[in-house]
Structure 1
Amino acid sequence: MPRTKALRDSVLERTEVLDRVKALSLLPDGMHVTTAMVAAYFEVAERAINRMAPGRADSERLAGPAGRRARTI
């Protein structure tokens, strides 16, 4: 927060960043999102999200057959 009243007053009208704030949609469990949902939120392609989260494929590989079964149930 700006320390002086004059400085606070000078930035009072700068609310454009607030216009970009939006809610992140969640899955019905209220905790998880899909890659598509995150991409829509950030207004980027899904492949951009996939490039930023490369560890997901590794964790699925390490989960083995039990992990694959859990995802299909």
Structure 2
Amino acid sequence: MEEYRFDGFRFDGVSSMLYHHHGVAMSFSGGYSEYFGMQVDEDSIIHLMLSNHILHTLYPDCITIAEVMTHT
């Protein structure tokens, strides 16, 4: 953030990180069971939460964006 003078951080391919199935051949319709459960990679969630917390603690005005792409 400092070295390149960025004002935000983009987390790319989040659906690939969040799920053990990497979002491949999934069609999320909005049911909670599709988003939570055994298919969730808890380490990835912790990584995103910690990264977000650190960024906003060190740079309160920064913008964080999560790009989610599902494969059909």
TM-score after normalising by structure 2: 0.28
State which structure, 1 or 2, has the greater radius of gyration over its C-alpha atoms.
1
Higher RCO, 1 vs 2 (CA within 8 Å, ≥6 residues apart): 2
TM-score after normalising by structure 1: 0.28
Specify which structure has the higher proportion of helix: 1
Specify which structure has the higher proportion of strand: 2
